[in-house]
Structure 1
Amino acid sequence: MSTHRSPSAPAARSHILMPLVLLRDASPSRLQRTRPSGKQMRGAVHLPSRTSSSSPPRRSALITSVPAVLALAFLLILVAVVFLYSGTTTTPSRAVTSAGRASEARGGGHALLSPTVGSIGGARAIWELPAAPAKSVLFVAHGCHCRPENFWPQSPRCPGCVGLPEDVAITERALRRRFAVLALASARECWSMGKEVSAAKRGIRSWATENGLADLPVAALGASSGGYFVSRLAAEMKLAAVVLMIAEGSFGTGGAPAGYPPAMFLHMPKDQRRAALVERNSKMLQSNGVEVKELRSLELPLTPTMLSDRIPGLNRGLSERIWRVFTEDGFVDERGFMRKDGRATPWMDAVVKRGFWEEVSGWADHIQEELNLAYGYHEMTSLHNDEMFDWIEEHLR
């Protein structure tokens, strides 16, 4: 099993993980996905979003004894200050950038990705309601060593949020489609399939009631360990649809019970063992009268702008420099496809040798997620968002 290694250079220690608003001591300390072992998804440390700060432009004072001139001078100063503030060129934080790109869905309301951090039944929880009246609830379950904070970018409302690009893209699309999004933290590094399922069921229902959403249909999406979890949750509570991402599901010896909701398997066929298990469980569900949909997420070529295109806030110049490292060190083939899993590619060491790790370190886990996605092996994916949400909406009732 390969895990991604932090570079040995001192610069690798220059960013310190911001503390979460801890509402439960069981919050995982290792977060980034690695190649799974069996049914679990392992991880490494996520770094927080890097924020930038700028000093406001200084105002200059004009003093005159003539009231009319004084009024005119004040007006000119006011205009100048507004102009200077609007022209500030410092790079915004990733949280602000991500929210800004999605704010079009709000139509002048509060910015998209403005979550609430709280506790539900003793579990750490993050949620957000859409600007327009919600038409459904989407419960999302993270994978092993991951957490709800991956689904929202860092912001004043969630200073401990990580905002991984694929996870956030799913949250954004759900909110635009008027889903109220709820994420809970697992009690331990991975989800358990017993009492935790019943606790999540009670938590989702109580949260929906408190937010006036009790009459809305509920869909669930889980990745890896979260996929097994929601497959069990679907057997205990009424769900409109369930999406099992990079997971074949867990159905027990009795298979799917009567009334099991439509199920989508969104997996990466490069993981051949899991693909075979997905096929087996798909046939089992269909034989029990359950509607099944399969989506396959394939590898992608690494291009000069792939990272800047997919990671809000990462600039094109840095994306191109990282891409050159991959081409010069032979991490990609002549077509741009990665030769090895991103977790087994020593790209961080290569960046350290080039001398620009300091610029990259704050983005390391965001980049790692996209490299795993490019290789097409066991990673969260938003590549099929439209098809996935279209399918979910077909089953809302």
Structure 2
Amino acid sequence: MFLHYSELTRFCPAGTVSHMARRIFEQHFRNSTQCNLIYSLCLHANPWHKIILACIILISAPLIIFVSRHSVSLPPQTSDTDWGKQGILFPLSGTLDYVQDTQLVWQAPSSPKAVLFIAHGCHGSATHFWDKSHNCAECIGLPEERVIVMNALSRDYAVIAISSTRECWNLATDKDKVLSTLSHWIKERGYSELPVLALGASSGGYFISALAKAYKFNAIVIMISEGFFQIMEVDEHYPSTLFVHMVKDKRRASLIKDAMEALRTKGVNASEVKCYPLAVTPHYFTKIPGLDALTSEKAHQALKDAGVLDKDNYMMADGRSMNWMVPLRWRHVLPEDHYNLWDMHMRELLNLAFGYHEMTSIPSKKIFDWLDRHLYISKAVDMADSDRTNPP
């Protein structure tokens, strides 16, 4: 994404580019237009012009470095992305458990008002929603997942996440296991009289949409997924449904619009929350537990200098297609043993910032306000009368 020193020296004499000039090219030219201009000059200039160009670089270097170091940086985003102002950032302590061979993690307040079942996306796990603790040594607390759980607990919801059998949810292998595990846990905890809600993201969203025909959920949230409504028949007893999706994924947004119309035609309450790309501000990565403000600022600057972020701090492309870890390692932003530790955490936040397909806690207030309003108004079908077959 940016012109490296090694690329420059292929066309300019190595002796004419000093260490100071190297710092300029690798750290202080922050957009591809500037880099491409210099690249073109070096490529087409004669030897004398190359020497003159190198002299200009050396003379201007101190001024460029001074200005870059003393330029005004944007303050951290406020509103929903100002993590500290949410007022609910606290360590989580989930309990890892197994019902037969099905993995689950749960946490509950002393007097819950409802149960929330969460289904992760592909390559996810129940252990992604809670911080590592003595009750869950396998938990890793991914940024978005853990904040969703925090919001649920702050609303007095008992929260349970169950892991899929394989990398993604599969109705044939997971449906009955989840029904059995969820029912067993609710009965064991004494929550049989409480409303039961569900939230699923991506693969988990598809799974929840089908599971809602086989379980008496009071309301469901389907995130970054349109569900199975194109191939699945529902009636007026289907639970109220909230779709949370990212507008950059236009195809999915169109499918969700169709799904909402289909549900409303059947008399089912259907709503949506739209999510947009986020600016990666200097303090953006402090959402990762244990990553301090200074480290976040260094990570932000490394990504900005590498061309991963544009002038307004938005992602230039989907992080899944960019090797954004390279500039972090090159700048030694993290201790060496932390790159693997926080790789999934940073990857998730950059996917979230790009705003195409990622679990998100940003609209948590809207999500849980909506769930609170639908705790007791659903006309969900009883399990005895439910369809336990896979959608066609």
Deviations 1:174-208 (A, max 9, x none): 11111111111111111112352232122211111
Aligned equivalents of 2:96, 2:313: Cα separation in 1: 40
Does the aligned pair in 1 maintain the 2:298–2:333 contact within 8 Å?
A: no
From 204, 215, 220, give the equivalent of 1:226: 204
Amino acid at match of 1:219: L
Does the aligned pair in 2 maintain the 1:170–1:382 contact within 8 Å?
A: yes
Deviations 1:313-348 (A, max 9, x none): 211111111111121111111111111112222211
Does the aligned pair in 1 maintain the 2:116–2:157 contact within 8 Å?
A: yes
Amino acid at match of 1:192: N
Aligned equivalents of 2:270, 2:324: Cα separation in 1: 38
Q: For 1:79-228, what aligned pairs fall within 5 Å after superposition?
A: 113-130=92-109, 132-228=110-206
Deviations 1:137-157 (A, max 9, x none): 000001111100100011121
Aligned equivalents of 1:300, 1:393: Cα separation in 2: 27
State the structure with more CA Rg: 2
1:342 aligned partner: 319
From 240, 264, 285, give the equivalent of 2:242: 264
Does the aligned pair in 1 maintain the 2:88–2:151 contact within 8 Å?
A: no
Aligned equivalents of 1:143, 1:253: Cα separation in 2: 20
Amino acid at match of 2:294: G
Amino acid at match of 2:102: A
Does the aligned pair in 2 maintain the 1:235–1:257 contact within 8 Å?
A: no
Amino acid at match of 2:307: G
Q: Does 1:364 find its partner at 2:343?
A: yes
Q: CA deviation at 1:126?
A: 0.8
The number of equivalent residue pairs is: 290
2:252 aligned partner: 274
Report the 3-state secondary structure (helix = DSSP H, G, I; strand = E; otherwise coil) of the residue aligned with 2:171.
coil
2:297 aligned partner: 320
Q: CA deviation at 1:265?
A: 0.5
Report the 3-state secondary structure (helix = DSSP H, G, I; strand = E; otherwise coil) of the residue aligned with 2:271.
strand
Q: TM-score, normalised by structure 1?
A: 0.70
Amino acid at match of 1:134: P
Structure 2 unmatched ranges of 5 or more: 1-83, 377-392
Aligned equivalents of 2:314, 2:149: Cα separation in 1: 28
Aligned equivalents of 1:355, 1:313: Cα separation in 2: 17
Aligned equivalents of 1:143, 1:202: Cα separation in 2: 20
Deviations 1:34-62 (A, max 9, x none): xxxxxxxxxxxxxxxxxxxxxxxxxxxxx
Q: CA deviation at 1:392?
A: 0.3
Does the aligned pair in 1 maintain the 2:229–2:262 contact within 8 Å?
A: no
Q: CA deviation at 1:273?
A: 1.5
Structure 1 residues 233 and 254, CA gap change in structure 2 (3 angstroms): closer
Does the aligned pair in 2 maintain the 1:105–1:112 contact within 8 Å?
A: no
Report the 3-state secondary structure (helix = DSSP H, G, I; strand = E; otherwise coil) of the residue aligned with 1:336.
coil
Aligned equivalents of 2:247, 2:177: Cα separation in 1: 33
CA-based RMSD: 2.0
Does the aligned pair in 1 maintain the 2:295–2:333 contact within 8 Å?
A: no
Q: Percent of aligned positions with the same letter in both sequences? A: 40
Aligned equivalents of 1:186, 1:257: Cα separation in 2: 27
Does the aligned pair in 2 maintain the 1:121–1:199 contact within 8 Å?
A: no
Aligned equivalents of 1:389, 1:380: Cα separation in 2: 15
Aligned equivalents of 2:335, 2:349: Cα separation in 1: 19
Q: Which moves more between the two structures, 346-355 or 257-266?
A: 346-355
From 381, 386, 393, give the equivalent of 2:360: 381
Does the aligned pair in 1 maintain the 2:116–2:199 contact within 8 Å?
A: yes
Deviations 1:56-110 (A, max 9, x none): xxxxxxxxxxxxxxxxxxxxxxxxxxxxxxxxxxxxxxxxxxxxx99x879xxxx
Q: CA deviation at 1:115?
A: 1.6
Structure 1 unmatched ranges of 5 or more: 1-100
1:352 aligned partner: 329
Report the 3-state secondary structure (helix = DSSP H, G, I; strand = E; otherwise coil) of the residue aligned with 1:374.
helix
Q: Does 1:390 find its partner at 2:383?
A: no
Q: CA deviation at 1:356?
A: 3.7
Does the aligned pair in 2 maintain the 1:286–1:292 contact within 8 Å?
A: yes
2:74 aligned partner: none
Deviations 1:235-259 (A, max 9, x none): 1111111000011001363422340
